[in-house]
Structure 1
Amino acid sequence: MDLPVMPPVKPMLARAVHEVPVAEGLVYEPKWDGFRCVVFRDGDELELGSRNDRPLTRYFPELVELLKAVLPERCVVDGEIVLVTGAGLDFDTLQLRLHPAASRVRKLAEETPASFVAFDLLALGERDLTGEPFSVRRALLADVVDGELARVHLTPITDDPAVARDWFTRFEGAGFDGVMAKPDVPYEQDKRVMWKVKHERTADCVVAGFRWHKDGFGVGSLLLGLYDGEGVLHHVGVASSFTAARRRDLVEELEPLRHNALDGHPWRSWAEAQSQEQGRMPGGQSRWSAGKDLSWEPLRPEWVAEVRYEHVSGGRFRHMSRLTRFRPDRTPDSCTYAQLEVVAPAELATLFGTPKA
């Protein structure tokens, strides 16, 4: 492979803001909930690169052949791999594609074929486009990406902040992760020169355990639970990102809850097994853990924490939440799924139209 922009490429990044920014020259796109992917094509050679330099090519063989039929002979395209269903984007099922067994990958490629959304063009032919403003790159991208085929899309774009705000609210139920705001600047690898507006809301959760910080001198994260309609406490995610001082303080604050914590604990079997195959549990290795220590310390599930989260996927917080405060005025049994805001799904066809086969 010999391209003007060679792998690996560290994708251009964004800073988080709480509302859609308005400024001269900004354009807006939906923020996709999938795997960031930079596609490198040089004739018959095509590679799918991830944002952390890990190749994705072997996990999405159906995209390799599809993109060869769609993209120019020599190009580098920044985009997102997503899994589109009738109810929206399905990130949980997309994660299953990162499987070590080639036979499993082939089976999933047939059963749950992925799609690709293109949103930037870094090279075309012999031309390195990273020094060009985004407006130039976008115009060229629109000329070369054939969106007539199913499962390949050119991301929608607008310069109207009112339209961006409408996307932000209307398409959340379809699995979109928010809205991106892009200035008309060159492509700067690994630099936060864009803005992302993501959904954020609060929930009261049961604090049922914690993990030690990697330095061993404080609490790294709190393990959170919510009760379902049958009174079963489910692990829904973690709250983290504490300062060093707060990590140490939490050790002292949580110490009383560690006494006899496993007596009657709803996750006792998980604590004893420490095996992910027992169900949805706060420990156990996975393809995402990369050997990290996921062991955890149980706490008597008596405290309630108010946390900020972005959205829920598969009954769990999609990303790590942040601790706002403890709630001594709330009882654990009041922490149920019923409090979570449910957003009505929006059909992808509303945004894309019906894809052609």
Structure 2
Amino acid sequence: MNRCLPEGAWTRSQKKRKRMTDALREIPEELQEKLKKKKQPDWMSPMLAKLTHEVFSDEHWIFERKLDGERCLIFKKGKEVNIMSRNKKNLNAVYPEIVSALEEQKTGNFIADGEMVAFKGKITSFAELQKRMHLKKEKEVKNSKTKVYFYFFDLMFLEGHDLTKLPLTERKKLLNNSISFKDPLRFTAHRNEKGEEFYKEACKKKWEGLIAKKADSSYAHSRSSNWLKFKCENQQEFVIGGYTDPQGERKGFGALLLGFYEDGELQYAGKVGTGYTDKMLEELQAKMSEIEVDEPAFAKNGDLPAKNVHWLKPKMVGEVAFTEWTKTNKLRHPRYLGLRRDKKAKDVIKEA
């Protein structure tokens, strides 16, 4: 079918496409209108997934491995690179090898989404990443034996064009074609349609779970039902609202008192006393001693421990694994994994 275009239209189209990178030129003609030419922003809020316990298969969805690490956004303008946490903290000094790898990329200007990870065996481990993510001194970072890798899974901006309105599958194609993937930079592969089969495989391999993403979805700067989390083990963030004294020969503290926000109040979710190394105990205790207060921030519901307790300002957020919730909203068999710096305490709710 011939299309009648105004005089000069092809010339304007050709000039526009000539300015694009090779990767952008490969976008189907019918999707070109979804490309938005604009100045590269200094910040883009990340898209967040919702938790679900209904594992499914669907030809209109793709399924990625859920990586147990630190969510990061990459901002690159020419040789300038910034690795940012999802709450806008610059992490360049913590992950200098990732900065160096990004500086070598031929693609000059982009904004990408992904996860910073460390491995314990073949499994990504947030606990292992803790050995790197809280180091501050250049010498400590340089001497650290914990290797980190950055897994890209989305591309939101490329060479003067906002990609967020493009379908996810097109954004992933652009990502794969625009970035040179060589350790420590890696591409997050996905599988089509067979979510249930992949989920069983993920849990058998002791992965954290899967992320299901609607294949034709745009990139939303908020939590969206177009991205869903299938977790093999219950795991989420909790506000640290206090701690108990150590018993016997234990250093630092005994257990952390955890909570989540509901209707504006911090609800007590129980305590976690396992998962710590001696170093964690000492470092956490030092941090917590700086934010102690006289009264608990938790809602007064009668469940709070009364003896040998230190209360804290609700500022610190920890990642905790557990088997299940009790009927009274307490954690069963919790295990501490590490501190999170990419989430504000006020944003911590019970995932359901």
Aligned to 1:106: 142
Q: 1:138 to 1:283 in 2, by over 3 A?
A: closer
* Distance in 2 between residues matched to 1:290 and 1:35, nearest whole Å: 25
Q: 1:236 to 1:152 in 2, by over 3 A?
A: farther
Aligned to 1:81: 116
Matched, 1:145 2:179: yes
Matched, 1:130 2:133: no
- Aligned residue type for 2:285: G
- Aligned residue type for 1:19: E
Q: How large is the RMSD of aligned CA atoms in angstroms?
A: 4.7
* Distance in 1 between residues matched to 2:160 and 2:261, nearest whole Å: 47
- Segments of structure 1 that go 5 or more residues without pairing to the other structure are 203-212, 214-219, 255-265, 267-275, 302-312, 328-334, 341-357
Matched, 1:162 2:165: no
Q: 1:55 to 1:246 in 2, by over 3 A?
A: closer
**TM-score normalized by structure 1?**
0.60
1:181 and 1:195 in contact (8 A); partners too: yes
* Distance in 2 between residues matched to 1:72 and 1:127, nearest whole Å: 13
Q: 2:224 aligns with which of 192, 199, 204?
A: 192
Using the TM superposition, give the Cα deviation of residue 24 of structure 1 relative to its aligned residue in structure 2, in angstroms: 4.9
Using the TM superposition, give the Cα deviation of residue 157 of structure 1 relative to its aligned residue in structure 2, in angstroms: 0.3
Aligned to 2:209: 178
Q: Secondary structure at the match of 1:280?
A: helix
Q: How many residues align?
A: 268
Matched, 1:241 2:241: no
* Distance in 2 between residues matched to 1:79 and 1:247, nearest whole Å: 30
1:39 and 1:48 in contact (8 A); partners too: yes
Q: Mapping of 1:1-357 within 5 angstroms?
A: 4-70=39-105, 72-95=107-130, 96-108=132-144, 111-147=145-181, 149-159=182-192, 160-172=194-206, 176-183=207-214, 184-193=216-225, 194-200=227-233, 238-241=257-260, 280=281, 284-286=285-287, 292-293=291-292, 317-318=320-321, 322-325=325-328
- Aligned residue type for 1:189: H
2:40 and 2:160 in contact (8 A); partners too: no
1:14 and 1:196 in contact (8 A); partners too: yes
1:181 and 1:196 in contact (8 A); partners too: yes
* Distance in 1 between residues matched to 2:90 and 2:289, nearest whole Å: 15
Using the TM superposition, give the Cα deviation of residue 284 of structure 1 relative to its aligned residue in structure 2, in angstroms: 2.4
- Segments of structure 2 that go 5 or more residues without pairing to the other structure are 1-37, 297-303, 309-317, 336-352
Q: 1:68 to 1:170 in 2, by over 3 A?
A: farther
1:37 and 1:81 in contact (8 A); partners too: yes
* Distance in 2 between residues matched to 1:326 and 1:185, nearest whole Å: 34
* Distance in 2 between residues matched to 1:200 and 1:224, nearest whole Å: 26
